[in-house]
Structure 1
Amino acid sequence: MRTNKSVQNFKHRLAEIMQNNSIASFAKKCDMSETVIRDYLSGKTYPSLNRLAIIAEKCDVTYTWLATGYNPQDIDLLEDSQNYNDPIYRIPVYSKQCPTPEEASTQKYVRGTPPVMNYPVLAGWLGYRGLNAEKLIIYWAKGNMMAPDIKNNNGLIIDTTPKDIVDGNIYLIEYLDITMVRRIQITLEGWVLLANNPQCEAIVVHRHDFNSYHIVGNVVQIIKDLY
């Protein structure tokens, strides 16, 4: 919408930079015909990118302003404003990784230990992915069972919405007092819980043992450190 309106208003910006110059003198200044300038001023036609650049250079204005009505810094501020106005939801940490009140009061966390804070996500991202913020949690991966895809302390956004198991998807799973991240392979007999790390053995789960395994949810986003 903004782009179309900017194109329509080009004639007003052109008239502004012409000031008191006649059409004939301005056309000569820009090495264009008087007919072309008249058509621009009437809104009958619009300049090509090349001619737009020539007019901007001859009149000492920015190409961006002449094309859109915004200066580059104005566009940056406008886009930032639109981004920050997008509602932010804070995804809670998986309950078993929440600190005790004593731990939280000390706030003594060092690099190498999983962060425990809530994780912010934009409403626009949630809408794009079709996710419900109230059904999401964040789990900080431990170990390297799913390396190289998921490494130690990578954050995993988990969708806890109940749904059918999808073959090949990665899930957060609870078994007794163990929590694990595994890729589920569906077989005729049940599931095979796979790890990417070849040193970690696959776990075979027969259908009659399904109730012993609680599927917390599936991984929808991996948050990785770059260093």
Structure 2
Amino acid sequence: MAPAGLAWQTLPEPGALALVDTISRRAAALARPHPGDLPIEEIVTVEREVLRWLDPATRAEAESVLVDRLGGDPMPTLRAVCWLTASWAVVLHLRTGYAPTEVLRQLSFGGVWRGPQAPETERVWEFLTAQVRAGALAALTDDAAAAQAFYAAATTQIPGYPECLLHHCLMLMSGLWLTLAAHGVEPHDLAATLAVYTHDAFDRPTGSFRPLT
């Protein structure tokens, strides 16, 4: 089921659906990533926990689940979070007309971080925000160079860095969610809908997001 104010429509591509804002009438195609690159099941699992994280009653449990998923290879979870961030930027574009790239470039962290690896300076916050922006822009644009840059930064061997990056991304997503809600739209289950109503298209030549109107 589409979130309030949004509607799904079918497309000829087997791995994509059209998402239409019923108020602005803008539309965009949302597609599964290539299954060998980022399986849709990974995004669905992360999406479920991110939505639980937005609820204060289940926030600690959800973040614990996400942190546990970072073990071994943190990249699938981190990239799934960035994919979701990009999808929310697209939804905000559909409602407001703001370019998704600008939505991502304006992501900012304005609060006090009280997590276990609390950074001491605003410079660290800005560095982490830049990393999240890079990952989300890579997901949005399907740019190989941007994706490689995010991978190189996110796979640092500094202990605790993936956890810091994950937490910072969740904080940025929280701010983006509030902006979406202020415009009357809450994008629940975008990845889950793609998982149910599309299937993997191994020869898909385009990225996960593209404008239709």
TM-score band by shorter chain is under 0.3
Higher relative CO (Cα under 8 Å, sequence separation at least 6) belongs to 2
**What TM-score results when the alignment is normalised by the length of structure 1?**
0.22
Structure showing greater Rg: 1
Greater percentage in helix: 2
